[in-house]
Amino acid sequence: MIALADVVATSAEVAATRSRKAKVAALAGLLSRVRSADPLEVRVVTAYLAGSLLQRRTGLGWRSLQSLPVPATAPSLDVVEVHAALDRIAALAGAGSQAARAAAVTELFGAAIADEQQWLRGLVTGEVRQGALDSLVQEGLAAAGDVPLAAVRRAAMMAGSTVAIAQAALCGGVDALATFRLEVGRPVLPMLASSAASVEAAMAGVGDRAVAIDTKLDGIRVQVHRRGDDVLVATRSLDDVTARLPEVVEVVRALPATDLVLDGEVLALGPDGRPRPFQETSSRTASADGVALTPFFFDLLHVDGRDLVDSPGHERLAALDALVPRAHLVRRLVTADVDEAETFAAGALELGQEGVVVKDLDAPYAAGRRGAAWVKVKPVHTLDLVVLAVERGSGRRRGTLSDIHLGARDGDGFVMLGKTFKGMTDEMLAWQTERFRELQMVDDGHVVTVRPEQVVEIAFDGVQRSTRYPGGVALRFARVVRYRDDKPATEADTLATVRDHLGS
């Protein structure tokens, strides 16, 4: 049985080095010890090394964990014990649950030594800062199981998580990993796009070949699975939102196929066919009430027994066009001519959309990966950053949490780039005041430091060098475009990406 102390020690070892090779070696060392363990233990250890829980919710937060009991003097907890305790806490509900939860926290944390207490609190609140992201744990699994990293990554993509394939990687080898294929009804991690400053730059990556120029919609990414009359609609984070999007279910049920997997977006449209504000679309994916949403699809991963994930883009698009009516297809141009592509991109902007995505027609669908096969081009510079802190408002904003401190990912943490209140509506101020109180860690009376979880899309006019902030750069005229509840902090832009905009 793996002791919690062993996981904590490995986490500390990973955090103590900047060497990726050393991090992977530390992870592999512990993972190799669970090769013959119970499947539950394998799943728990894998999740904990990635800094996550198997429970989606526990009912615990920073406030409930601010005051901890006196730590134990010797380690005694194992990881399965901890998992079972958190399961019991997560199940508490109804009258008396608050007191029962506090008692359960005292029992669990009272059995932990000081280092275990601090690490467990970070695990429960999503604040384990060790640099062992999911991709590193995949490398650790590959090393511990002596299997190719590519096989581990592909299996994890198809299964929708690294935890789901850990046992196969450690004990089953390549053949066991190969059993994880695209399965209708089980969402896979979506393919992601890199960025370019212009259509010409995006097209340069494929040489003189024709590319697909897709309109980049200002909506919410969805993946839709259908088997017979059963339809599943999942977000980019693989959350099931089927019940909230009946109009999407209706459209997909009407398609001339029995089994299929589609990739696309949903958005709210006005009477003129132009997109409504993103917040209206976002609010509908959180509730079945509100404005109607229209689905638009841009890729097809499976149709009636035929997997298309490994097929080139032009084959997937041909199958998509044969299946989905034009009214529910993303507008697309196939061309090798830069001028023609730029005219199309300008037209997309005139229709109120975000820009375009340039796609290599020879590339397969790289689930869960961001690479050069898909490149997004947006005319306004935007970054997805993380809110690190927020300041109390003054004047007419008194009583709200107003100016937000912006951070980019950098190694194991985040680096501040500046702050802004520009672009915020009254509705946004009211929403973020409530939201950041939920994420509050420290309030000094002026600045409220928050857990770095909320992603915000920021428009800016350029990046300049600055000695004021530790990253050495600052954003010029930063303004809020929208909050991104569909994107986790681990997918926020990096400091390196920000620096790419120096001088822009």
Q: Is 269 left (phi over 0), alpha (psi -120 to 50) or beta?
A: beta
Question: Which residue stretches of 38-96 are H helix?
Answer: 39-49, 79-91
Q: Say if residues 320 and 334 touch (Cβ distance below 8 Å).
A: no
Q: Which of 386, 382, 380 is nearest to 419 (CA)?
A: 386
Which of residues 127 and 81 earns the better pLDDT score?
A: 81
In this predicted structure, the answer to whether residue 404 has a pLDDT above a threshold of 90 is yes
pLDDT tier at 62 (50, 70, 90 boundaries)? low
Question: Which residue stretches of 286-391 are H helix?
Answer: 313-323, 338-350
pLDDT tier at 172 (50, 70, 90 boundaries)? very high
In this predicted structure, the answer to whether residue 413 has a pLDDT above a threshold of 90 is no
In this predicted structure, the answer to whether residue 127 has a pLDDT above a threshold of 70 is no
In this predicted structure, the answer to whether residue 33 has a pLDDT above a threshold of 90 is yes
**Could you say which DSSP state residue 55 is in?**
S
Q: Which pLDDT belongs to residue 443?
A: 87
pLDDT tens digits, 206-253: 889 999 999 999 889 999 999 999 999 999 888 899 999 999 999 999
In this predicted structure, the answer to whether residue 24 has a pLDDT above a threshold of 90 is yes
pLDDT tens digits, 128-155: 665 557 889 999 999 999 999 999 999 9
Kind and range of the H or E run holding 118: helix 114-124
Q: Which of 254, 246, 198 is nearest to 379 (CA)?
A: 198
Q: Which of 221, 200, 192 is nearest to 281 (CA)?
A: 221
What integer is the mean pLDDT of 21-42? Answer: 91
In this predicted structure, the answer to whether residue 283 has a pLDDT above a threshold of 90 is no
For 189, list phi and psi in degrees, rounded to 5: -65, 135
Q: Nearest 5 degrees, angle CA 496-CA 501-CA 504?
A: 170
Q: Which pLDDT belongs to residue 27?
A: 96
Average pLDDT, rounded, for the chain: 90
Q: E strands, 313-437, where?
A: 332-335, 355-360, 370-377, 382-392, 401-410, 413-420
Using the CB atoms, write b or e for 453-466: b if 16+ within 10 Å.
Answer: bbbbbbbbeebeee
Q: Which pLDDT belongs to residue 132?
A: 57
What is the distance between the alpha carbons of residues 73 and 45, in angstroms, rounded to a whole number?
23
Question: For this structure, is 216 an active site residue?
Answer: yes
pLDDT tens digits, 325-384: 999 999 999 999 999 999 999 999 998 888 999 999 999 998 766 778 999 998 777 899
Catalytic residue among 216, 359, 376, 378: 216
What is the distance between the alpha carbons of residues 296 and 411, in angstroms, rounded to a whole number?
36
In this predicted structure, the answer to whether residue 106 has a pLDDT above a threshold of 90 is yes
pLDDT tier at 88 (50, 70, 90 boundaries)? very high
Percent of the chain residues topping a pLDDT of 90: 62
Q: Say if residues 228 and 253 touch (Cβ distance below 8 Å).
A: no
What is the distance between the alpha carbons of residues 278 and 297, in angstroms, rounded to a whole number?
18
What is the distance between the alpha carbons of residues 183 and 191, in angstroms, rounded to a whole number?
16
What is the distance between the alpha carbons of residues 48 and 169, in angstroms, rounded to a whole number?
17
Q: Which pLDDT belongs to residue 171?
A: 92
pLDDT tier at 469 (50, 70, 90 boundaries)? confident
In this predicted structure, the answer to whether residue 46 has a pLDDT above a threshold of 70 is yes
In this predicted structure, the answer to whether residue 504 has a pLDDT above a threshold of 60 is no
Kindly report the pTM of this predicted structure.
0.71
What is the distance between the alpha carbons of residues 390 and 428, in angstroms, rounded to a whole number?
13
266 contact partners, CB below 8 Å, separation of at least 6: 219, 220, 222, 245, 248, 281, 284, 285, 293, 294, 295, 296
Percent of the chain residues topping a pLDDT of 70: 96
pLDDT tens digits, 435-449: 999 999 988 888 999
What is the distance between the alpha carbons of residues 159 and 168, in angstroms, rounded to a whole number?
12
In this predicted structure, the answer to whether residue 164 has a pLDDT above a threshold of 70 is yes
282 contact partners, CB below 8 Å, separation of at least 6: 220, 482, 483, 485, 486
Which of residues 57 and 179 earns the better pLDDT score?
A: 179
In this predicted structure, the answer to whether residue 288 has a pLDDT above a threshold of 70 is no
What integer is the mean pLDDT of 101-115? Answer: 94
Tokens 């089927």 correspond to: 242
398 vs 124, 154, 156, 388, 393, CA distance in Å? 33, 51, 47, 20, 5
In this predicted structure, the answer to whether residue 290 has a pLDDT above a threshold of 70 is yes
What is the distance between the alpha carbons of residues 311 and 332, in angstroms, rounded to a whole number?
19
Q: Which pLDDT belongs to residue 233?
A: 97
Q: Say if residues 359 and 374 touch (Cβ distance below 8 Å).
A: yes
In this predicted structure, the answer to whether residue 115 has a pLDDT above a threshold of 60 is yes
Which of residues 367 and 276 earns the better pLDDT score?
A: 276
In this predicted structure, the answer to whether residue 412 has a pLDDT above a threshold of 80 is no
Q: Which of 47-61, 66-80, 160-174 has the lowest mean pLDDT?
A: 47-61
207 vs 134, 362, 494, CA distance in Å? 33, 12, 28
- Which tokens sit at 44? 């728990």
